[in-house]
């Protein structure tokens, strides 16, 4: 069964600091996704990672995928308050898609 684990589940960090969110999954995957969700809002797609070694960057966020380790990371560089949100990873295998529990990120001044 495909399982997805994210950690940490809660992350409080100061502005300007760097941190990484981890997403581990249990079986081989076709695609890995990262999403952002602001409180009371819908989901926003951040990244789609398709192959081993894939790296994508958008602003202060960078996502990478290691399919051999079954691990994806979302790295936050020099955090700013606007990045406060909940971040979800999701893994898609043969049209069976499972989400992580989410990481609630709070960036404090």
Partner 1 sequence: GAGVSQSPSNKVTEKGKDVELRCDPISGHTALYWYRQSLGQGLEFLIYFQGNSAPDKSGLPSDRFSAERTGGSVSTLTIQRTQQEDSAVYLCASSSIAGGADTQYFGPGTRLTVL
Among 20, 24, 31, 54, binds partner 1 (CB under 8 A): 31
Rule CB under 8 A: is residue 34 a binding residue for partner 1? no
Rule CB under 8 A: is residue 95 a binding residue for partner 1? yes
Pairing assessment for the beta strands 96-99 and 71-76 based on DSSP bridges:
unpaired
Going by C-alpha positions, the residue among 75, 57, 60 that lies closest to residue 21 is 75
Q: What is the three-class DSSP state of 63?
A: strand
Rule CB under 8 A: is residue 102 a binding residue for partner 1? yes
Rg (the chain; Cα; Å): 13
Rule CB under 8 A: is residue 43 a binding residue for partner 1? yes
Rule CB under 8 A: is residue 104 a binding residue for partner 1? no
């Amino acid at each position: 069964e495909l399982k997805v684990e994210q950690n940490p589940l809660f992350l409080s960090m100061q502005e300007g600091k760097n941190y990484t969110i981890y997403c581990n999954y249990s079986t081989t995957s076709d695609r890995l996704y990262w999403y952002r969700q602001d409180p009371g809002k819908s989901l926003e797609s951040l990244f789609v990672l398709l192959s081993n070694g894939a790296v994508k960057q958008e602003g202060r966020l960078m996502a990478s995928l290691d399919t051999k380790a079954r691990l994806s990371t979302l790295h936050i560089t020099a955090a700013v308050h606007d990045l406060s949100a909940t971040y979800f990873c999701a893994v898609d295998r043969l049209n069976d898609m499972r989400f992580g529990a989410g990481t609630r990120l709070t960036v404090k001044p």
